[in-house]
Structure 1
Amino acid sequence: MIPPIRLRPMMLSDLDYVQTVETGAHNQPFITSWERAQHEGAVRFPDFRQFVIETGPGCERSGLVILQGCRNAQKSVEFKRIVLQPKGLGRVCVRLLKQLAFRDLHAHRFWLDVKKLNVRALTLYASEGFVEEGRLRESVRAGDGYDTLIVMSMLDREYDARVALGQEAPA
């Protein structure tokens, strides 16, 4: 059973935890981590929303989420990053983030890019209604080589259709 999950706004006091999770051996191959100064800037910049994922009755830190473009005039919100520790919370977190993007931020488009080698995330995003838009071939460093980023998105009308079909929680 998945414990209750909540998103708490990230604070500067969380940055040691954030850096530890991002640079963890199980996460590093799948994300492009930021330096501390980047996180500090994003905490202060209103176009970003950074959250610490907390689980269970003790509100234990279980990961982080970054959204970008939250004040974007085009209503295009980027799902910049999710890092989970432990694994297994992805689906419930993605559903919570879709609610946040479409219901609270009134996004028209909710989009992300994901490394091609991250098959688990690609499968999850596709099963949650994200549609592949294209590929940025060999656009990020990965070990001794490069990896391709796959761009995926969901539009507000697609989200609304999923709600109508019972695939998303109603408002």
Structure 2
Amino acid sequence: MMNDLIISNELRIRKTDSEDLDYVLATEQHPESTDFVFLWSREKHLASISNQDHLHLIIENSDRRHIGYFILSGRTSPNSCIELIRMNMSAKGKGHGTKALRLLLDYLVHHLHVHRVWLDVMETNSRALHVYRSVGFKEEGILRECIKTRTGFESLIIMGILKSEWHDCDKSEP
């Protein structure tokens, strides 16, 4: 398929198309996601899909069933830095997110020649923090109480991984 970017024995990562948006929107609204993922409108997702600076990607299992998605920004950056805006899995706690992130990092480093990937994550999102640390992301700083939530203010942890760090890490798995 033309939209396929990454294929492994267990997972397939491909460009999102408009037919995938019902899944993406439903995944954002899942109770386990709403505390950590800001809801985007269908129009905002459509704009991201067509934005040359973004990569909006669907993660599928070997049966071609949707299990998550990524949104990245910075594809056209002259600094070779890409932001992982969003990683959201509908199949949580099964290890698919970690495997998909390893595949994505390998693709970004080896095919797009990205120097640095960075993200921000809510300090209370222990599941995501575990995944990011497990693939080699390092904490770079904290934006204290910068997000207003239903329960108060939340801090964001800035994390990043450099190409040289990924080469150290990628020998263990994808």
Matched, 1:146 2:153: yes
Q: 2:22 & 2:97 partners in 1: Cα distance?
A: 22
Amino acid at match of 2:67: S
Find the counterpart in structure 2 of residue 115 from structure 1: 122
Q: How much does 1:124 deviate?
A: 1.9
Find the counterpart in structure 2 of residue 71 from structure 1: 76
CA contact (8 A) 2:83 2:117 kept: yes
Find the counterpart in structure 2 of residue 7 from structure 1: 13
- For structure 1, the 5+ residue unaligned runs are none
Task: Point out 4+ residue stretches in structure 1 off by more than 6 angstroms.
Answer: none
Partner SS for 1:94: helix
Find the counterpart in structure 2 of residue 82 from structure 1: 87
Aligned partner (choices 34, 41, 46) of residue 35 of structure 1: 41
Q: Percent of pairs identical after alignment?
A: 34
Q: 2:71 & 2:55 partners in 1: Cα distance?
A: 6
Q: How much does 1:128 deviate?
A: 1.3
Find the counterpart in structure 2 of residue 23 from structure 1: 29
Find the counterpart in structure 1 of residue 143 from structure 2: 136
Distance 1:114 1:60, change over 3 A: same
Amino acid at match of 2:64: C
TM-score normalised by L of structure 2: 0.89
Q: 2:40 & 2:108 partners in 1: Cα distance?
A: 22
CA contact (8 A) 2:144 2:154 kept: yes
Partner SS for 1:8: strand
Aligned partner (choices 100, 103, 114) of residue 107 of structure 2: 100
Q: How much does 1:141 deviate?
A: 2.2
| Structure 1 residues 67-108: Cα deviation after superposition (integer angstroms, max 9, x where no partner) | 111111110101111111111212101101111221121111
Q: 2:73 & 2:67 partners in 1: Cα distance?
A: 21
| Structure 1 residues 123-168: Cα deviation after superposition (integer angstroms, max 9, x where no partner) | 22112111100001111122131211100001111112224xx224
Q: 1:100 & 1:142 partners in 2: Cα distance?
A: 34
TM-score normalised by L of structure 1: 0.90
- For structure 2, the 5+ residue unaligned runs are 1-8
Partner SS for 2:66: strand
